[in-house]
Structure 1
Amino acid sequence: MSSLYLARLKPDERQALISKLHATQKGSCFICEQAIDLVIHKDTLDVDHVVPLNDRGKDDPVNFALTHASCNRSKQASNLEVARVLHRFKLLKEELEAENRSPNLGDLLKKAGGGNHALGFKLSANEITYSLSELGDNALRSVPVYKDELSGFSFFFANFPIQYLAHDDHINPRSIGPNISKLVEEFYKKRPQLHVPLAWMKSEGGKCAIQVFDGQHKAAAQIMLGVKALPVRVFIDPDPDTLITTNTNAGTTLKQVAFDKSVQRHLGSSLYQDRIQRFLKETGRPQDDLSFSERDLVTHFKGQSKEIKRYILDAVRNGVTSDPGNKLRDYIDFGGRGKESPLSYSTIEKTFYSFFVFQEVLETPINYRAEEGENPRIVECNQILRLMNLIAEVLYVDKFDSDVGTDKIESKLQKGEIPKLDHLRAFRMSKEEIIYNWLQLVGQVARTYFITLGKPDPKDRLFQMPFPDQVWDNIRKFLGNLVVMPLWVNIDLSETIFGGKQNNGFWKTVFETGRTPQGMEVLVKPINLIEMIK
């Protein structure tokens, strides 16, 4: 809503207001907090309401702020104070991109000066007494300890300064998602939280950190707004395996939180490591003894065979996905709803991991030939990672433009908006039904090499077989010939085969016959693997 107050100002009055706001803000932009030069930025400044008029903000100088025009027009919230908070979060995200990760609660606690003290306490059967002496508050506080009737866990409620709170990224590996902006606005409007963060602590030693494992988004939003203490429900000596399982179920079978698949795999990987530690303890083995197999784990944990198998496979998938050297990560949307990345994590699961991760448990010891680099699971992970990197280099790096993204590409083509052809090629080849087919051909290229040498078909264990350089050379040639096929950049096909979602069988027919199931010619001739690796 436009400002009647600003509209009535004469040029010299407006300049006087700008100068006054500039001085009040100590020469910095209200949103990005970077310097404003009234001469250099003269024609690129905005004066805007801090609290929007439609939120009952006043059309008065007390409610005005000075910003860079670009900051004001790209702000993430209409309220400028919220926009400033979200801009700080954006800077933190950019800072952590070098570590190939997004911010979590621990990062926000650290930025706010939290997470640096352990709580001193004394525990009895019915209450816990503690002090905040590290903050200069030596008063003794006592609160009741309760017992959860179903789980048997003991717990208490307390309001802790953020200095005593830490983030448990083992139980909850989630990063802060894009919905944080809505939560920040919600709390800014003074609407109270309906769920307190959950945390845990150890009773031994008389001093420990309070580890938050649930409710991190609500906690993060409040910390971003400057809150210095949070109410928390703290479990005492809980079984960590139970907490991990509960957290996993909340995002999967119970659908209580929006866990994306990659987070589920991370949790599954954590559960796999926990099961290994339990197996070692329950069988009396040394902590560094990995001479048992995946099958031994399944056999030991009777009644949990499906879960153990899933944890094992989750560990493989998570190992590849979270590898810092994975160049394909930058082109995967882990939330599943974005429009900036060409690939969804769901697509990665249905293709790379479905095709190339051996889906059964192994009989060989977990440490089998690990030092020689010939451990089946290690070989599998390394080769899938190498394939991902190869595909990233051929199809995405310096070719796919995230600023253009994937939103309505074909519709824009039909209206005459032509993106760079490299971007169009990457976008089309990334469609799930298309990559589903051409990635299987990549596996066939590798499998054919072994069969041609007279060796048994590796079948589902293909990527556990070390590929010689010739196989990688064949794959690179296949990909190189695949990406230059004219259909990927044919604008005329936008209204036909690329105009809507096709199924996997549609593209299987195209690759095998050169035509659609309806008889429309798409390729000059069917794909011939022998010719494609020349």
Structure 2
Amino acid sequence: MPRSLSKIDKMSGDEIKDLKHRLHSFQGGECFLCGRPINLEADETEIDHIVPLADKGPDEEANWALLHSVCNDRKSAQNLNLARILMRFENTKEEYGGALTTAQVLEMHGGSTQQLHVDDRGDSVLVRYECRGSIKEIEAPIIVDPNNLNYRSFFIELPIEVLHHDFELNPRKIINADKLIKEFWRKNPQLHVALCRLQIDTEAKKGDVLLFDGQHKTAAQIFLGNRAVPVRVFLNPDKDRLKEANRRAHKELRQVEFFKSVLDDLGQDIFSQHFRRFLEDETGIPKSEKAFIESLEADTRVEMKRNLYHYLKTTVKNSEDPRNEFFDYVELDQPRSKTWPISYDSVEKTFLRHFIDSSPCEAPVDADYDEENDYPRNTERKNLVILMNIVTDYVLREKFDKSLGIAKLEDRIKKGEVIPDNHLRAYRMFRPAVFVVWCEFLKEAIAMYLIAKGKITNDMRNRNRVLWAQMDGRDWEAIAKMIDKLASHKLWIDRGPVISNAFGQTRPEFFRKLLEEGIIDGIGKILGEPINIQYLFNAAGSDNNCLSDYILAIGLDDFSTAIEKYLFYLHEISDLGPKLLCLFDHEINQLLA
């Protein structure tokens, strides 16, 4: 159905020009949508109805607005008042790097300036706060949880001045509040209240109201101009238990799922607090991760093991000595990104899964360690960060161009857009399905190298303890050669349609066959040199990966016995079995000669 003709459509060019000048003056020289200045001589501008004619908005100057043409094209609602709020939310988000914290939303709107005064009367609370220069008092009944009498709470509407972000229970950022802004704009009710906790200072009878759930609803209400929001406030709750309940609600119970990076942050906090208390206990129990887990009640051990893994992953992500530079290129706040080449989910399925032993470590934390024999978890973290930083050096730093992004990159190449090789390589190497495969191959190649050097055992390889090895400069040089050879393969920069289409695949099985054998089903062999374990292992060079190293490592004088044991070792280190024997045929023949 064609839109109704407006009085504006019937105006002459001079009348439009005069109208734009009047609206420009009335709006203070700013665009109605974005709020930025309009230059009538230089900017392309349009006039639109604030309330659309289709919504029975009047076709009068009081309902007309002047805006940048680009803003009118970008608007995500026909009603300009709503579109202005949505654009302000998006622009604010961009100013803060694409995501906002609840604290930032509150502070930019004048929130988080007061504590709440509370008089706990047993069956009710009398709360007091300052509002517009006067003191306001409200009494609310206390509700006791029917399953746990220790959980007491009350429902109330509170001004944003007394609300604070609970970073500890929920570090999650606000990304997509658009739908909630539209929902509340339509005058639909907020069905679920935000959740807060309040730890009352018994002497001062006041404390911070910490909002830990319902941040998106609260942000939507605030951007709509509401200065107070409905909340449920827990009084002096068991923080650790509430934290675990909130984590379970967003994970196991799937009310609103947390991103994996947020789950890791929450899990590591739970583990570290409990483990710290265990280490401070003066009993004679050995101070190790394994002893800690075994000290817990049986029905809590599985959950704490999960939290241990969250803790280990977070120590790698947040490492400062050395700093983990790989995460400068990882999207941490949402499942997918149009800007960064790597998702946190992909990192979790690759580096973190293959190189962290998630089982409790039996080594004592408080043993007498030194630089040559460090606590295994410190070695694991440090080595993994170094490995990830080497990948960053060869593939990402000064190579990935954030301004080009990753959105529809293969389509853009097909349409003729010039994408630099370095940027294309960084994009393709970290497509989730292929990333899973090459990282697994890299782990196996590194494990083979370290076993041959006598620095780890096959059992350590099988238990993801490859990076528990004490590594030296020669080892890292060999591993850097593997990564260099991996990144240098022409697959990553081939712009032909077959390869470009291949990177649209999402199944690791597809890329396993492509990398390991160079084959695409239905097309045939397309890679002259596959990217498999042998390809990576050989990159380290014969000086670093040789049979003689193995013979020295196992300390055998009898050469024929060494060969026999070495062949057994090749079978032992991988499920690929006989396929790996060909890796060393040339070297074995040279030694036998």
Short-chain TM bin: 0.7 to 0.9
How far did 1:115 drift?
0.8
1:533 maps to which residue? 540
Paired with 1:150 and 1:191, the residues of 2 have a C-alpha distance of: 32
Task: State the alpha-carbon separation in 2 of the partners of residues 462 and 499 from structure 1.
Answer: 30
Separation (CA, whole Å) in 2 of partners of 1:344 and 1:290: 40
| Equivalent pair of 2:431/2:503 in contact (CA under 8 Å) | no
**Cα contact 1:118–1:210 (8 A) shared by 2:** yes
CA distance in 2, matches of 1:224, 1:369: 56
Deviation at 1:499, TM superposition (A): 6.2
Cα distance change on mapping 1:386 and 1:75 into 2, 3 Å: farther
Q: Secondary structure at the match of 2:502?
A: coil
For the pair 1:305 / 2:312, whether they are aligned, the reply is no
Residue aligning to 1:475: 479
Shift of 1:216: 1.1
Number of the residue aligned with 2:569? none
Counterpart of 2:175 in structure 1: which amino acid? G
Aligned residue for 1:50?
A: 50
The letter for the 1-side match of 2:330 is I
Within 5 Å, give how 1:430-509 maps onto structure 2.
430-457=430-457, 458-459=460-461, 460-494=464-498, 498=502, 501=505, 503-509=507-513
**Residue 27 of structure 1 aligns with which residue?**
29
Equivalent residues of 2:308, 2:358 under 8 A apart: no
TM superposition shift of 1:408: 4.9
Say yes or no: does 1:169 pair with 2:176: no
Asked if the contact 2:279/2:287 (under 8 Å) is kept, the reply is: no
Closer/same/farther in 2, CA of residues 52 and 267 from structure 1, 3 Å limit: farther
Question: 1:217 corresponds to which residue?
Answer: 216
Of 290, 315, 320 in structure 1, the residue corresponding to residue 311 of structure 2 is: 315
Per-residue CA deviations over 1:264-320 (Å, capped at 9, x if unaligned) read: 111111211232355367x468xxx99822112202212222111111110121233
Shift of 1:154: 1.1
AA at the equivalent of 1:301: L
Q: Which one-letter code corresponds to 1:123 in the other structure?
A: D
Distance, in Å, in 2 between the alignment partners of 1:467 and 1:499 is 35
Question: 1:50, 1:63 within 8 Å by CA — same for their partners in 2?
Answer: yes
Aligned match of 1:62: 62
Residue 462 of structure 1 deviates from its aligned partner by 2.0
Select between 320-329 and 387-396 the one with higher mean Cα deviation.
Answer: 320-329
AA aligned to 2:66 is L
Q: What's the CA shift for 1:489?
A: 2.6
Higher Rg: 2
CA distance in 1, matches of 2:470, 2:53: 65
The 8 Å contact of residues 130 and 142 in structure 1, kept in 2 or not, is answered as: yes
CA gap of 1:60–1:338, structure 2 versus 1, over 3 A, is: farther
Matched, 1:349 2:344: no
For 2:582, the equivalent position in structure 1 comes to none
* Structure 2 segments unaligned to the other structure (5+ residues): 542-593
**Residues 442 and 141 of structure 1: CA distance in aligned 2, closer, same or farther (over 3 Å):** same
Aligned-pair CA distance for 1:173 = 1.4
What SS does the corresponding residue of 1:26 show, helix, strand or coil? coil
Structure 1 equivalent of residue 544 of structure 2: none
1:170 is displaced (CA, Å) by 1.0
- What's the RMSD between the two structures over aligned residues? 3.1
Residue aligned with 2:496, SS: helix
Query: Quick check: 1:115 aligned with 2:117?
Result: no
Question: Aligned AA for 1:529?
Answer: L
- One-letter code of the match for 2:207? C
User: Superposed, which structure 2 residues align to 1:226-237 within 5 Å?
Assistant: 226-237=225-236
Establish whether residue 6 from structure 1 lines up as the match of residue 8 from structure 2.
yes
Equivalent pair of 1:297/1:308 in contact (CA under 8 Å):
no
- Which residue of the partner structure matches residue 385 of structure 1? 385
Contact 1:487 1:522 in 2 (8 A): no
Per-residue CA deviations over 1:156-198 (Å, capped at 9, x if unaligned) read: 11221111111111111110022x0111122222222111111
Q: Give the whole-Å Cα distance in 2 for the aligned partners of 1:290 and 1:8.
A: 87
Per the TM alignment, residue 117 of structure 1 is displaced from its structure 2 partner at its CA by: 0.6
The CA deviation at 1:432 is 2.6
Tell me, yes or no, if structure 1 residue 15 matches structure 2 residue 21: no
CA drift at 1:490:
2.5
Is residue 250 from structure 1 mapped to residue 245 from structure 2 by the alignment? no
1:104 to 96, 101, 124: 101
3-state DSSP of counterpart to 1:220: helix
Match of 1:428 in 2: 428
2:554 matched residue in structure 1: none
SS at match of 1:183: helix
Question: When the two structures are aligned, how many residues end up with a matched partner?
Answer: 524
Normalising by the residue count of structure 2, what TM-score does the alignment of the two structures yield?
Answer: 0.79
The aligned amino acid for 1:487 is L
Is the Cα contact below 8 Å between 2:456 and 2:466 reproduced in 1?
A: no
Q: Does the aligned pair in 2 maintain the 1:487–1:493 contact within 8 Å? A: no
Amino acid in structure 2 at the alignment position of 1:329 = F
Q: Distance in 2 between matches of 1:327 and 1:84?
A: 38
Distance of 2:478 and 2:270 partners within structure 1: 38
Amino acid at match of 1:158: I
Give the 3 Å change call, closer, same or farther, for CA 2–250 of structure 1 in structure 2. Answer: farther
Is the Cα contact below 8 Å between 1:290 and 1:365 reproduced in 2?
A: no
For 2:127, the equivalent position in structure 1 comes to 130
**Is 124-133 or 361-370 further displaced after alignment?**
361-370
- Deviations 1:475-498 (Å, cap 9, x if unpaired)? 333222222322223233537870
In structure 1, stretches of 5+ residues that fail to align are none
Amino acid paired to 1:12? D
CA 1:397/1:58 → structure 2, altered by over 3 Å: closer, same or farther?
A: farther
Q: Offset at 1:6?
A: 2.2
Secondary structure of the corresponding residue to residue 169 of structure 1: coil
Provide the secondary structure at the position in 2 that maps to 1:491: coil
SS class of match (2:153): strand
Structure 1 residues 219, 343: closer, same or farther in 2, change over 3 A? same
Structure-2 separation of matches of 1:84 and 1:113: 20
Preserved CA contact (<8 Å) 1:113 1:163: yes
SS of 1:156's partner is strand
